[in-house]
Structure formats: structure tokens, C-alpha cells
Amino acid sequence: MEEEKKLPEETTIPKAEATPAITTDKTDVLSPVKIKKRWPWILGLAIIVVLAVFGGGVYYALTTPQYSMWQMQKAFQKKDVAQAQKYIDVTTVADQVAGVVAEIAKKAIQDQFANNADATDEEKQQADQYFASMLPQLKTQLASEFQKNFESSVNGATVQGDNPFDALGAGKGKAVFKKDGGDYLLTVSEVAGLNYSVVFRLQKKNSFTWQIVAIENINEIIQSLQDQAAPAQE
């Protein structure tokens, strides 16, 4: 019989060599060093974005009719007529109001002749011609009075209730802006001392300024003033 082969008393298993470390010259993108280097750039970009958005919002706000009317209110508070007139085309509005008042006066004269059975056609024609010749002067006088009313309103010197521009003072009444084509309509109501609302038409003069160019409901205002004056004349 063959002799059994004996294993050595001590058997050693060779140890595997350690895996060599993987190295790279590039810094890991998530390393603290890399993040610290990127923070100033990220923060700067964020600030630029915020300023762009905020700046755009501010720019838009400065171009709105609401901002222009706010500036006018500040001028009223300071009683600064020159500053207030930047936000109203006094000449245009004065011509509009004068034209309306002149037409009302003309109609009143025509109604008087129409109700006078003794008036001849020749007298009616002469009255029309006389009124037509006086119309330019009447409009000039009305425009001048209109300018005085505006200045008096800015200076706080008007009789309460007889001046529609009193509605433009700061903190007076309820203001509602409504877009109308390229214009805006500003309706001011619930003004203490005024028995009527006032509707102003605003048009854009330049990038930062809106101006009042008309009083849309001037006929209603004149009628209201006439109704207020009627009891006193009776």
C-alpha cells in the first residue's frame, strides 16, 4: 500500500496585493474647494437676475398712469402749480371745456328765441350771427377762467364743490383706472364736497408721463353745477 501523503503542518495562503489607489489630477466637482470657488459667480448671477426683475418692475411702475397721477397729487400737496401742470394739458382741456360751455350757451339763446312767439326770423338770425362773432372771445375767457380754476385747486383756494379739479387732490375720493384703447380713463368718485364723479382721459406724453387731456363727463358736471345753482336763484 502506498503511504498517505501528509500535508505540511503549516499552510499559508498568499495575501492578495492591495488595490492601488486611483488618482486623478482633476478636483472632484463636488469637493468643498470647487463649491467655494463657484459661489461668488453663482451669487453674482443671482443678484443680476434679481436686479433685472426688480429693475424691470420699477421701470414699469414709473411708466404707468397711476404713477403720474401720484406725482400730480404730490404737487397738489406742495401747492406746486408748475409741477402739477406737467400731468395735465391745460390748454387742450380748457379748449374742450370752453367749447362745451359755448355750445350750451348757444343752445340756451336758441331756446329763448324758440319760446318767444314774437321773435322774427330776422332777429333769430341776427342773434346767431352775434353769438358766432363772440364765440372766439368767449372761448378765450373760459379758457382763462379754467386755468385760474386749476391753479386755485392746486393751491387749495377753491370753493368746495364748484371745481372738478379738487378731485385730483391726494387722498380724495375713490380712483378707478380703466384702459380705453391707447388711453386710460380715470374716474374719481365719492369726493367730499362734490356731488358728481369726474372722468378724466389720460394720454401718454412720453415714456414716463401721462397727461390729462379731457374731462369726459364735462356735460354732466355742468348740469350738476346748474342744478346746484338753481335753488339759490329761485
Give per-residue pLDDT as tens, 155-188.
Answer: 876 655 567 887 887 566 788 999 999 999 999 8
Dump pLDDT digits (tens) for 67-121: 899 888 888 888 898 999 999 998 888 888 888 887 887 787 777 777 777 777 7
Q: At 129, is the pLDDT very low, low, confident or very high (cuts 50, 70, 90)?
A: confident
Q: What is the pLDDT of residues 38-58, one digit of tens each?
A: 556 555 555 555 544 544 455
End-to-end CA distance of the chain: 156
166: DSSP letter: G
Distant-in-sequence, close-in-space partners of 213: CB < 8 Å, separation ≥ 6: 88, 89, 92, 93, 201, 202, 203
pLDDT surpasses 70 at 212: yes
Nearest to 100 by CA among 226, 229, 233, 212: 226
For residue 222, the model assigns a pLDDT of 84
| pLDDT of the residue at 182 | 94
Q: Record the cell numbers describing residue 51, joined without a space.
A: 436686479
Position 132 pLDDT exceeds 50: yes
The dihedrals phi and psi of 173, each to the nearest 5 degrees, come to 70, -170
pTM above 0.75, yes or no: no
| Mean pLDDT rounded to a whole number for the chain | 74
Minimum mean pLDDT range among 13-27, 62-76, 162-176, 188-202: 13-27
